[in-house]
Amino acid sequence: MTEAKNYFGKEPVLRAKVHPAGAETDSHFYSATLGSDGCIYYTLCTHKHDKHASMCRYDPAKDEVKVVANFGEALGESETKTVSQGKSHAPFFELDNKLYFSTHIGYFISEGRKEIPASKIPEGYKPYPGGHCACYDMKTGEVTDFGIPVKNEGIITFNMDKKRKRLYMITWPNGHFAYYDIEEKRYHDFGPSFLDGEVGMGDRYLVLCRALAVYPVDGSVFFTHSDGTIFRYNYAKDKIEKFEGVSMCRDMFGQHDPHKPGHMAYNWREIFWNEANQVFYGTHPRTGYLFSFDPSKPEIKLIERLSAKPIRESGEYEPYHYGYGGLSIDPDNETIYYITGIPRAYGQDPIKYGHKGAILKLITYNLRTEKYNDWGIIRLEDGRCMALTHSVIPHPAGRLYIVPWIVNIENTPENDPSQIDLVSFANPIK
């Protein structure tokens, strides 16, 4: 077994800086977003039943981090003794100087390879009421709560159709597809859309899709099932239907049982619309393959494997069993950024070590020149590395921002206390 820390000595290093918020946290998920004011907005999350997540803002011009909202206080649950709004599990979306966001439960248990709601609520607390949709006014700091779309269900992914002023979401653990119409101020819940979702048993189990693809051309919203089937919410018909003619199930993605937990199978991992090229770009979780999805044809094209160079050379899967969520495109509409990892120790069980089992690297891919670059590991001046992030944000000022688990590779993954905070480093292509 090759120790990754020995390999790291041969790696290029991207020197990083941490921007501590001082908030109580143990995680971050997907929400890092660049606002029109030039600030980075993100959520520091918690898995505790009695601690709510905190929305933070980093101002690069002032090099200043502020906690701008506590979800418990902002959503009226700080004194309710209900299980906390521990997370936001999706990006924020800006419209008219407001950031639209959703909340998710952080308190759960692991059973085998499944994450499921805790069967026992701590004494003195009531069950989780359900995730909220809300917006944060960037000028006034006020939060407007749109309520709970599905009782007792968190919101695991969330997207916005800015043209039609709709918020779309998938809830956890049962996998309801729902939307909120901002102008009409109403929710529409379509009910479970993934069999029995992540609490299903046997052939009724499906891991939930973690990214919704909003198609601005006609208002469609696409999501996947773990068998590779693509579904479309048809805006004109106000119904969900199977999207015929294309699938995420590809031989290149490996062999996966869609009804077994512990992986994302043939779901896409991250996906976003690129207006300049009129296609979606996304990644497959286990392989790190970048693909384009054009609903107008319909067509999925595999572009390039974005995994780290050692993973590409060995032919292994991505080290993190759910795949990496850090994917974005530069304003030049050519450069794709991807944050991936290499294992601390090759051959280790990815389920056992989870998100702390690998150290992060930056990959770029230029869509025009078809050039792939592995830029090396991301490391602080004190030697600590990054273990997982679900966001990567290119800033016009020339830095890249992530919100990772910050760890010490001299420790073993299971005995490695981590700091979760915003981290930045110079963009190597700028």
Other C-beta atoms lying within 10 Å of the C-beta of residue 382: 8
Amino acid (1-letter code) at residue 59: D
> DSSP code of 310?
H
What is the bridge-based pairing of β-strands 166-172 and 154-161?
A: antiparallel
**Choice among 12-21, 204-213, 324-333, 403-412 with the minimum mean pLDDT:** 403-412
Q: Band the pLDDT of 270: cuts 50, 70, 90.
A: very high
Domain with 185 in it: 37-209+212-267
Q: Calculate mean pLDDT across residues 137-165.
A: 98
Residue 244 domain flag: yes
> Tell me, what CATH number does 246's domain have?
2.120.10
| Predicted confidence (pLDDT) per residue in 342-401, tens digit | 998 777 788 888 889 999 999 999 999 999 999 999 999 999 999 999 999 999 999 999
| Predicted confidence (pLDDT) per residue in 120-131, tens digit | 999 999 999 999
Closest to 154 in 3D by CA, of 136, 137, 175: 175
What is the bridge-based pairing of β-strands 213-214 and 221-224?
A: antiparallel
Question: Phi and psi dihedrals of 429, rounded to 5?
Answer: -95, -5
Judge whether residue 233 has pLDDT over 70.
Answer: yes
Torsion over CA: 404, 405, 409, 413 (sign): negative
Q: What is the pTM of this model?
A: 0.97
DSSP of 323-347, one letter per residue?
---EEEE-TTSSEEEEEEEEESBTT
- Element holding 353 (H helix, E strand): helix 350-353
pLDDT of residue 1: 32
pLDDT of residue 394: 98
3-state SS assignment for residue 187: strand
For residues 323 and 390, give the distance between their C-alpha atoms in angstroms, rounded to a whole number.
10
Residue 410 domain flag: no
Q: Calculate mean pLDDT across residues 34-54.
A: 98
Residue 107 domain flag: yes
pLDDT of residue 2: 44
Q: Band the pLDDT of 9: cuts 50, 70, 90.
A: low
Residue 256 domain flag: yes
DSSP of 246-304, one letter per residue?
EES--GGG----TTSSSS-TTS-SEEEEETTTTEEEEE-TTT-EEEEEETTTTEEEEEE
| Predicted confidence (pLDDT) per residue in 26-37, tens digit | 999 999 999 999
For residues 179 and 21, give the distance between their C-alpha atoms in angstroms, rounded to a whole number.
32
For residues 395 and 60, give the distance between their C-alpha atoms in angstroms, rounded to a whole number.
9
Q: Band the pLDDT of 412: cuts 50, 70, 90.
A: confident
Residue 260 domain flag: yes
Mean pLDDT of the chain: 95
The percent of residues above 70 in pLDDT, for the chain, comes to: 98
Amino acid (1-letter code) at residue 190: F
pLDDT of residue 8: 65
Lookup: tokens for 28: 């971050």
Judge whether residue 331 has pLDDT over 60.
Answer: yes
Residue 327 domain flag: no
Q: Band the pLDDT of 415: cuts 50, 70, 90.
A: confident
Phi-psi map region of 259: left, alpha, beta (phi>0 left; psi -120 to 50 alpha): alpha
Lookup: tokens for 201: 């048993």
Q: Calculate mean pLDDT across residues 317-338.
A: 96
Q: Calculate mean pLDDT across residues 225-238.
A: 98
- Element holding 311 (H helix, E strand): helix 309-314
Say how many domains are in the chain. 1
Instruction: With beta carbons less than 8 A apart as the criterion, state whether 313 and 290 touch.
Output: no
For residues 132 and 292, give the distance between their C-alpha atoms in angstroms, rounded to a whole number.
31
pLDDT of residue 4: 52
Judge whether residue 6 has pLDDT over 90.
Answer: no
Amino acid (1-letter code) at residue 226: S
pLDDT of residue 3: 52
Contacts of 218 (CB under 8 A, 6+ apart): 235, 236
pLDDT of residue 350: 80
For residues 24 and 43, give the distance between their C-alpha atoms in angstroms, rounded to a whole number.
11
Instruction: Give percent helix, percent strand, percent coil of the chain, each to the nearest 5.
Output: 10, 45, 50
pLDDT of residue 409: 87
pLDDT of residue 7: 58
Q: Would you give the end-to-end CA distance of the chain in angstroms? A: 37
For residues 390 and 170, give the distance between their C-alpha atoms in angstroms, rounded to a whole number.
18
For residues 44 and 55, give the distance between their C-alpha atoms in angstroms, rounded to a whole number.
6
Closest to 246 in 3D by CA, of 220, 219, 228, 271: 228
Residue 81 domain flag: yes
Residue 232's alpha-carbon distances to 218, 224, 242, in angstroms, are 11, 9, 6
Other C-beta atoms lying within 10 Å of the C-beta of residue 254: 13
> DSSP code of 11?
S
Residue 364 domain flag: no
